[in-house]
Amino acid sequence: MPRFSHYEAALGSQLFEKVKNCRVLMVGAGGIGCELLKNLVMSGFNQIELVDLDTIDLSNLNRQFLFQKQHIKKSKAQVARESALKFNPNANIVAHHANIKDPQFSIEWFKSFDIVMNALDNLDARRHVNTMCLVANIPLIESGSEGYLGQVTIIKKGETECYECQPKPTRKTYPVCTIRSTPSSPIHCIVWAKSYLFNQLFGIPEEEDEELDKELNDENADEIANLKAETLALKRIREAMGSQDYPKIVFQKIFNDDINRLLIMEDMWKTRKQPVPLVYEELEKLKDTESQMDQTTNSNTLRDQRLWSLTENFSIFLESIKRLSTQLLAEKMTNPDASLTFDKDDIDAMDFITATSNLRARIFGIEEKTKFQVKAMAGNIIPAIATTNAIVAGMIVMQAFKVLNGDLNECKTVYCSPDRRPKSILSELLNKPNPDCSVCQSVHVTLNVNVKKATLRDFLKEVIQGHDEDEEDVCEVSVEEGGRIIYDVEYDDNLDVTFEKLNITDGKMVKVTPESEDDEKYPTVFAISHRETFESPNTWFHIDGDITSRSRTQVNSNAHKRKLDDSEIDPQEESSRKRPAVIENEVIVQDDDLIMTEDGPQRLIVID
């Protein structure tokens, strides 16, 4: 019996033929990606291209089952391909160890696929693939998981909402002064240790004076001045790195001198518990006695999963500073501008963050955390569950069957949830495009252009204004690429610069927005495709598509509506779930936009 005869019997010969011949682009080879690739090759999909930039880490092995210990530090895409071929040696899998945003993955390349499947773990890449699929008019299956939560939906140009149609959650922020002067929770201490102190001592110090000035008022002028003085003092102390007394100097500065300066500001502590400075000499005396007791009382407890004692935090703080200093000084021997960056899997960095945050927590009377807990909070770790990834990957393939069969109306947004409803698998009808979405409501066309010769002025005259005469009319549009302004009515410095010199090259996206209050005029997004020659010698441009189209997608919430079955959710009843919400577990420090966790379980920004 042929290997896939059972699939052909279940799907029908016509659909199964489409599955065999379908060209699939799969983006991401992490938790969901490993499960998905296995599902694809075992379901009869034979033409698969896989893109992933990451390499395999030890922490991946508990859920990304295509990888093993011997694969650590190797390309996820390449190893996933090799492992998947063991399930189906006849599959044609092309692996790319690359960034999906690289120019090689152009619009024409996207157009060569029949369907795209996302298994990504970051917002920026999701947005890019969403835009590319809209321009190429290729159906996209988006997915995500977070713990026991999972989600799969379909994005099809002009028929369903895109990734950008729903607003993203509002992130919870904390002022710099809270982190630096008046912490009240463990996360404040961890943020301080990771984003402030680690960077000041070993990384690239952040320029935070501007943010501090924003918080300046009559009541906190002394506090702001004090914080600026602390930062300058740390920069001077860094010059002593490598000396025998360096750990002691740092300890004395951050856990004693700085705390005593805070205590001078008596008004700050009228309604708060005063911090208690730590004394180096006292802890040095206690270290030997308490460490001996810890060896007998905690010998059977995993070090990373138990709370460290005060003197244990003290000892680990001193030792981790020595090790990190040695590492940085060694790198500076070959690169004077070298710096260290935080890595949750770096033992020395995590020892430093854990000990430092716990010592600070002790000073302010805040709950201390184990190294395991600190790593989860500082490293943006949301516990990943292999079973959830497997369910999500299965739902992706089921939705793909419907898309390939032309049954888009039968596709749904599907959720995996352990306790929100009686059923674990929930679904809702696909939403229509949001008429106010600036992404999917834009006009998407491909612009063939000689980037070496065409200038921005040529583009505005020939493509936007529709003529090439020497007129001085002001073109009332704004031109953007990758978030940077290239041109607007008050900024014309780049008019005579070529596309190539503006770094607008093959695969880039240029958005042109009319400077008009006419709500019916949407932006036009040009996908750049370099071409050396054209039929007419008098032009450097050729447009694939109609840039005059400005029609608004009409949305009727009752259109195509049918009776819901018991496992489905009415989108109108669930609308409140899609509104922006404050994410309680996410922390951003305003001075450096540090995000402590990824974008929470909201509309396809949950992650693996």
Q: For 275-311, what is each residue's pLDDT tens digit?
A: 999 999 999 988 766 655 554 444 445 788 899 999 9
- The secondary element (H helix, E strand) that includes residue 291 is helix 280-297
With a threshold of 0.85, does the pTM exceed it?
no
State the amino acid at position 316 in one-letter form.
Answer: I
Among 252-256, 270-274, 494-498, 581-585, the least confident range: 581-585
Q: Write out pLDDT tens, residues 54-94.
A: 999 887 888 899 999 999 989 999 999 999 999 999 999 99
* Rounded mean pLDDT, 496-518: 84
Are the beta carbons of 228 and 212 closer than 8 angstroms? yes
Beta strands 509-514; 477-481: pairing state: antiparallel
| Other residues' Cβ atoms within 10 Å of the Cβ of residue 436 | 11
| Other residues' Cβ atoms within 10 Å of the Cβ of residue 418 | 11
> In this predicted structure, what is the pLDDT of residue 289?
66
pLDDT range class, residue 608, cuts 50, 70, 90: very low
> In this predicted structure, what is the pLDDT of residue 7?
82
> In this predicted structure, what is the pLDDT of residue 548?
64
Write down all domains in the chain, each with its CATH number in brackets: 5-170+384-409+581-595 (3.40.50.720), 186-366 (1.10.10.520), 443-544 (3.10.290.20)
Q: Write out pLDDT tens, residues 469-493.
A: 445 556 788 899 887 899 988 888 8
| Other residues' Cβ atoms within 10 Å of the Cβ of residue 411 | 24
Q: Write out pLDDT tens, residues 352-395.
A: 999 999 999 999 999 999 998 998 888 766 677 899 999 999 99
Q: Please say if the pLDDT value at position 19 is more than 90.
A: yes
Per 3-state DSSP, what percentage of the chain is helix, strand, and coil (rounded to 5)? 40, 15, 45
Which amino acids are annotated as binding site for Zn(2+), given as ranges?
Answer: 162, 165, 437, 440
Are the beta carbons of 160 and 152 closer than 8 angstroms? no
Are the beta carbons of 530 and 449 closer than 8 angstroms? yes
Q: How far apart are CA 108 and CA 284, in angstroms?
A: 66
**Residue with tokens 């935090």, as numbered in its chain:** 313
> In this predicted structure, what is the pLDDT of residue 412?
92
| CB-neighbour burial class of residue 36 (10 A; exposed 0-12, middle 13-18, buried 19+) | buried
Residue 387 neighbours by CB under 8 Å, 6+ apart: none
The DSSP secondary structure of 107-172, one letter per residue, reads HHHHHT-SEEEE----HHHHHHHHHHHHHHT--EEEEEEETTEEEEEEE-TTTS--TTSSPPPPPP
Considering only residues 217 and 138, tell me which one the structure prediction assigns the higher pLDDT.
Answer: 138
Q: Please say if the pLDDT value at position 266 is more than 90.
A: no
Per DSSP, 449 falls in state E
Considering only residues 196 and 518, tell me which one the structure prediction assigns the higher pLDDT.
Answer: 196
Give me the active site residues, please. 177
State the amino acid at position 576 in one-letter form.
Answer: S
> In this predicted structure, what is the pLDDT of residue 255?
96
Q: Please say if the pLDDT value at position 228 is more than 50.
A: yes
Which amino acids are annotated as binding site, given as ranges?
Answer: 28-33, 52, 60-63, 76, 121-126, 162, 165, 437, 440
Q: 224-248 in b/e burial notation, b at 16+ Cβ within 10 A?
A: bebbeebbebbeebbeebeeeebbe
Which amino acids are annotated as binding site for ATP, given as ranges?
Answer: 28-33, 52, 60-63, 76, 121-126
Q: Please say if the pLDDT value at position 173 is more than 80.
A: no
State the amino acid at position 497 in one-letter form.
Answer: V
> In this predicted structure, what is the pLDDT of residue 194?
92
* Rounded mean pLDDT, 84-108: 93
- The secondary element (H helix, E strand) that includes residue 97 is none
> In this predicted structure, what is the pLDDT of residue 607?
37
> In this predicted structure, what is the pLDDT of residue 422?
63
Are the beta carbons of 136 and 551 closer than 8 angstroms? no
In three-state secondary structure terms, 396 is helix
**Cα 60 off chain centre by:** 17
Summary mean pLDDT of the chain:
81
Could you tell me the strand order of the sheet in which 509-514 lies? 484-487, 477-481, 509-514, 524-530, 443-449, 541-544
pLDDT range class, residue 592, cuts 50, 70, 90: very low
Q: How far apart are CA 480 and CA 502, in angstroms?
A: 11
Q: 197-213 in b/e burial notation, b at 16+ Cβ within 10 A?
A: bbbbbbbeebebeebbe
Q: How far apart are CA 277 and CA 23, in angstroms?
A: 64
**Residue with tokens 């709370």, as numbered in its chain:** 307
> In this predicted structure, what is the pLDDT of residue 600?
35
Region of 275 (left: φ > 0; alpha: ψ -120 to 50; beta: rest) is beta
**Residue with tokens 């120019």, as numbered in its chain:** 103
Region of 341 (left: φ > 0; alpha: ψ -120 to 50; beta: rest) is beta
Beta strands 509-514; 524-530: pairing state: antiparallel
* Proportion of the chain above pLDDT 90, given as a percent: 45
Q: Which of 99-113, 224-238, 514-528 has the highest mean pLDDT?
A: 99-113
HEC readout, 167-210: CCCCCCEECHHHHHCCCCCHHHHHHHHHHHHHHHHCCCCCCCHH
pLDDT range class, residue 418, cuts 50, 70, 90: confident
Q: How far apart are CA 61 and CA 55, in angstroms?
A: 12
Phi, psi angles (nearest 5°) of residue 416: -115, 120
Per DSSP, 446 falls in state E
Q: How far apart are CA 494 and CA 501, in angstroms?
A: 10
| Other residues' Cβ atoms within 10 Å of the Cβ of residue 294 | 17
Considering only residues 607 and 383, tell me which one the structure prediction assigns the higher pLDDT.
Answer: 383
> In this predicted structure, what is the pLDDT of residue 362?
96
